[in-house]
Structure formats: C-alpha cells, structure tokens
Amino acid sequence: MRLQPRYGVHRTLFSWNDDFVTPLTLRTVRWLTALAFAGFVVSRVIERLAPGTFLVGLGLLAGLAAALAMVMALSSRAQRLLTDHERKLDEYQRSQRSAALSRSYAILSALVVGAGLYVILALDWGWPLPSSRDTLHDLAFGAVLLTSLLPVTILVWTLDLADDPEALEGGES
C-alpha cells in the first residue's frame, strides 16, 4: 500500500490506493453500518414476534442484508485505516484512528461492565437471565457485530463528509 496525495498536496483521511479495499465513499459506509445494526435488530424482532409466519422470510432477508452490509463495511478503506500499521499513516489519520478506537473502547467497556453488573444483580435478586439457545445465539451474534463494527461506525459517523472528497462525487451531496 502506498501513501500518496491524490488531490494535490492536501491529504485526506482516505488518501491511498489499495486493490484489496472496497472503494466506498464515506456516506456509503455510513449507510452500510446503519443497515448492519438495523438489519440485525429487525431480523431478531421479527423472529421473536412472528415465528412460523411468512414474516420469518422477511426477517431472514433483514439478517442477510445486515451480514452483507457488515462485510462490505469491514472491507472499506475506513476499516483499513483502523487496522493498518501506524507507520503507514500520517498524523491526521493516526489521530482519527486513535479517537475512534478510544471511543469504541469506552463504549464496549461500559457495555461489558453494565452486563456484568446486571448478571450479578440478576443472580442476587432473581431477575431473568438469558437461558434459551436462541437468546444466547442472538446475544453472541450481537456481540460479534458490535465489537467488529463499532470502531468503523464511530470513525465514519464522526468524520465530516468534506474529509472524503469522493463522498461528493457520483451525484451524492
């Protein structure tokens, strides 16, 4: 991967070329992350509220759309920024990556602590705990989705669209 300015001497967050990364605009990755989380929630709600009906097919489609959106977002340049070696990034890219990873860590830490406290209180006070296979499957898949997609979600939703000149190309405004 080569770091080189594409737009004169001004470098943007996504200013490198790489054949193995999906060339998606910032706005597209935003939509993909939203679709991944929304599709997961919709598929789980439909499966819980309407088991054995024709709506299960709609829930399956929502789940497949969520999985596809997740894969596409994780193959974007934004995800590559989060996983590349620090020496390959300039100062601006390092600061954006650091901010996104720090926020992700804080959010995930709060969720883990909250879940742990709930389990402790649930065991002491008899509150309900997930026990069915389906509920545990939903929690595990939600945890995988959240931990893998949260850093790129925070990165693309906290950036200004002006940071990615391609976001304004192709009729998007």
Lowest mean pLDDT among 93-102, 114-123, 126-135, 164-173: 164-173
Supply the pLDDT for residue 24: 81
Q: Which residue has the higher pLDDT, 50 or 126?
A: 126
Across 4-162, the runs of DSSP E, i.e. the strands, are 16-17
pLDDT at 155 over 60: yes
Supply the pLDDT for residue 6: 46
19 pLDDT tier (thresholds 50, 70, 90): very low
Q: What is the mean pLDDT of residues 49-75?
A: 88
pTM of the model: 0.75
Please state the domain extents for the chain: 2-168
**Cβ atoms of 44 and 127 closer than 8 Å:** no
**3-class secondary structure, 145:** helix
Q: How far apart are CA 42 and CA 37, in angstroms?
A: 9
